[in-house]
């Protein structure tokens, strides 16, 4: 936690916390551009296994970053001088966002001896940019990932391409969507309009605003689905089989009323 000290009757914040914050976070347009360059360098030249990215996704991610940089360079952004305000960019399932954020100073934690902020709560005050990647057809995505269209159709049917979007009878897939891992990856679905979401086999879904699904570590055949309604503090656990999970995820994705809570913030050390 932040440790304050009293000097001459006045309360002062631990200078180390402030120094680390000012060193590691982004306060100017130049900071953001430099950070993006470092991110692209990392994913392009480091082993893909470090990130779990395929070569195809790395290429598309870099294309998205360059598109983001192009729009960012057009923006007039002030230098942030007020303490605890900063710029943050996050990768989503289908693009990248630039946000203006405010850190909660009381939530900042560092461990003794560490030279970085271990955890910090923050509020997104305003979304400044929202750049989307290209949406591609099943055939185009199959070509990008060097698999057959039938394989992509199976991924969709099994709920493995979680950011795919139904377009009439067809499907569109974000070009940055990674090839599904062989291992099941936990997921948190945010339901945007549960009142019109009717899945007969899973009736409780229609009252939820969040669904978290993960695989049991001890019993790989068991999947735990946590159904939540934040306003009413409803939280219920549902045990599912692999087939039932695939059925539920396909229904959620097909509805067009959910999105995955998979934002990834990236702030490398730029100073």
Predicted pLDDT at 70:
97
Q: Which pair of structure tokens corresponds to residue 225?
A: 């689905």
Confidence of residue 195 (pLDDT cuts 50, 70, 90): low
Alpha-carbon gap, residue 134 to 63, rounded angstroms: 10
The dihedral through the CA atoms of 55, 59, 64, 70 has a sign that is positive
Q: Within a domain: residue 190?
A: yes
The answer on 157 and 127 residing in a single domain is no
Q: Within this chain, do residues 162 and 203 fall inside the same structural domain, yes or no?
A: no
Tell me how many degrees the CA angle 182-92-86 measures, rounded to the nearest 5. 135
143, 166: one domain: yes
Q: pLDDT for 90-112, tens place per residue?
A: 988 899 999 999 999 889 888 76
16 in any annotated domain: yes
Taking the C-alpha atoms of residue 136 and residue 218, their distance in angstroms, rounded to an integer, is 38
CA Rg, the chain, in Å? 21
Residue found by looking up tokens 């549902």 in the block: 238
* Residues 4, 81: Cα–Cα separation, whole Å: 21
Q: Final residue of a domain: which of 133, 154, 173?
A: 133
C-alpha distances (whole Å) from 218 to each of 185, 214, 245 are 15, 12, 17
pLDDT, residue 184, reads 95
Do 151 and 175 reside in the same domain of the chain?
yes
Q: Quote the domain boundaries for residue 96.
A: 12-133
pLDDT of residue 242: 96
Residue 160 inside a domain? The answer is yes
Same domain, 106 and 81: yes
Better-predicted residue by pLDDT, 4 or 162: 162
Tell me, yes or no, whether 107 and 154 share the same domain.
no
Contact 61, 94 (CB under 8 A): no
Mean residue pLDDT of the chain comes to 88
Residue 204 has pLDDT above 50, yes or no: yes
CB 56 within 8 A of CB 233: no
Q: Per-residue pLDDT for 10 more than 70?
A: no
Residue 253 lies in a domain: yes
Residue 271 lies in a domain: no
Helices (H), the chain: 15-24, 29-45, 55-72, 138-145, 149-157, 242-255
Based on the domain organization, do 154 and 167 belong to the same domain?
A: yes
Q: Is residue 149 part of a domain?
A: yes
pTM for the full model? 0.82
Torsional sign, CA 139, 145, 149, 152: negative
What is the domain count for the chain? Answer: 3
- Structural domain contains residue 4: no
């Amino acid at each position: 936690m932040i440790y304050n000290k009293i000097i001459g009757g006045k309360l002062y914040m631990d200078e180390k916390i402030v120094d680390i914050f000012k060193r590691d976070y982004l306060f100017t347009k130049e900071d953001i551009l430099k950070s993006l360059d470092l991110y692209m360098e990392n994913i392009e030249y480091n082993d893909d296994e470090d990130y779990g990215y395929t070569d195809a996704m790395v290429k598309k991610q870099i294309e998205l970053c360059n598109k983001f940089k192009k729009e960012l360079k057009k923006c007039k952004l002030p230098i942030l001088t007020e303490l605890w305000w900063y710029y943050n960019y996050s990768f989503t399932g289908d693009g990248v966002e630039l946000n203006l954020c405010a850190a909660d100073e009381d939530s900042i934690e560092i461990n003794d001896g560490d030279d970085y902020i271990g955890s910090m709560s923050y509020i997104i005050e305003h979304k400044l940019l929202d750049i989307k990647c290209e949406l591609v057809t099943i055939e185009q995505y199959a070509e990008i990932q060097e698999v057959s269209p039938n394989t992509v159709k199976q991924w969709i049917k099994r709920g493995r391409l979680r950011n795919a979007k139904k377009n009439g009878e067809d499907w569109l897939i974000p070009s940055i969507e990674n090839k599904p891992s062989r291992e099941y990856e936990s997921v948190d679905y945010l339901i945007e309009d549960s009142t019109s979401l009717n899945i007969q086999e899973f009736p409780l879904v229609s009252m939820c605003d969040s669904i978290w699904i993960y695989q049991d570590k001890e019993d790989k055949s068991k999947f735990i689905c946590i159904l939540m309604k934040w306003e009413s503090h409803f939280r219920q656990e549902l045990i599912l089989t692999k087939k039932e999970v695939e059925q539920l995820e396909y229904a959620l994705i097909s509805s067009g009323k959910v999105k995955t809570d998979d934002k990834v913030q990236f702030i490398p050390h730029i100073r």
